[in-house]
């Protein structure tokens, strides 16, 4: 399916904005295709713009990654604990995604499911916002996340396979449920996004080609545009996410989700 230059830009912006704001990228992409009349892009296009968001995370944390690489070169040892945390935190969503792949694909075709998750998760975020405002500084655990912490956060992330939930939002909520600060929760959510999104993208591409899918040369330009737009938009979104959370908490996203959910109901 051919996409115009403007449609590729719009889908790239939606992916970049919604992947790291807790408002669900998958849900918004589906809504854009359904409600704005944008033709459904190929699985290849959707996967590539997700890779744009992944690259934005790597670029944003490039200084930390460079320090880690230099440390590895210096000590000649791998950061085993960090690798363990990435595996433990990603395992739940990988297992859930594999087991319920067909159900997730079905859910993506049902707008009522997106409405339910949009409003339901808004309620969860509202409760979290209320609890956090009652939390004192002494109740915040600033120690490094343990393997148990990361596993539980990973369980939260597993629910993001449901369209409309928001991977970043539910994973940040998982960190906060363990008593972590917003900074730790956001950092953990963004770092876990790399292996989780990479696995999802790889799995989707594998299925695409195994099912006989072919890359359409006519989509090369629009795919490149979507990737670049998603990268730069995601980079900007990542940079403002923590300041927004620190100042306003979840409430702006709660309000947005409620308005969005009601709007979808009216359009159904």
Q: What is the DSSP annotation of 36-55?
A: S-PPPPPHHHHHHHHHHHHH
**Per-residue confidence of the chain (268 residues) as pLDDT tens digits?**
567 888 889 989 998 998 889 988 777 877 777 777 776 666 778 888 989 999 999 999 998 888 888 887 787 776 788 889 999 999 999 999 999 988 988 988 888 898 999 999 999 999 988 887 776 555 565 677 889 999 999 999 999 999 889 999 999 999 988 888 888 888 899 999 999 989 988 888 887 777 776 666 667 888 899 999 999 999 999 999 888 988 888 999 999 999 988 888 887 7
Separation of alpha carbons 64 and 42, rounded Å: 34
Separation of alpha carbons 166 and 13, rounded Å: 16
């Amino acid at each position: 399916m051919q996409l115009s230059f403007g449609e590729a830009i719009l889908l790239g912006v939606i992916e970049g904005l919604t992947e790291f704001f807790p408002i669900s990228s998958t849900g918004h992409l589906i809504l854009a295709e359904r409600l704005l009349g944008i033709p459904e892009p190929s699985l290849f296009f959707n996967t590539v713009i997700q890779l744009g968001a992944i690259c934005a995370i790597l670029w944003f944390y490039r200084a930390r990654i460079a320090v880690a690489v230099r440390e590895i070169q210096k000590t000649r040892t791998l950061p085993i604990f960090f690798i363990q945390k990435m595996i433990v935190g990603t395992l739940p969503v990988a297992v859930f995604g594999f087991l319920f792949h067909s159900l997730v694909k079905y859910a993506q075709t049902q707008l009522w499911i997106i409405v339910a998750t949009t409003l339901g998760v808004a309620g969860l975020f509202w409760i979290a916002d209320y609890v956090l405002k009652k939390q004192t500084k002494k109740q915040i655990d600033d120690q490094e996340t343990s393997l148990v912490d990361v596993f539980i956060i990973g369980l939260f992330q597993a629910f993001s396979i449901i369209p409309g939930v928001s991977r970043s939002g539910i994973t940040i909520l998982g960190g906060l449920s363990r008593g972590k600060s917003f900074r730790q929760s956001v950092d953990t959510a963004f770092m876990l996004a790399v292996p989780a999104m990479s696995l999802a993208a790889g799995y989707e591409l594998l299925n695409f080609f195994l099912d006989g899918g072919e890359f359409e040369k006519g989509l090369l330009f629009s795919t490149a545009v979507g990737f670049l737009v998603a990268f730069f938009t995601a980079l900007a979104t990542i940079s403002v996410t923590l300041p927004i959370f620190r100042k306003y908490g979840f409430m702006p996203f709660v309000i947005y989700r409620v308005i969005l959910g009601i709007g979808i109901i009216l359009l159904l």
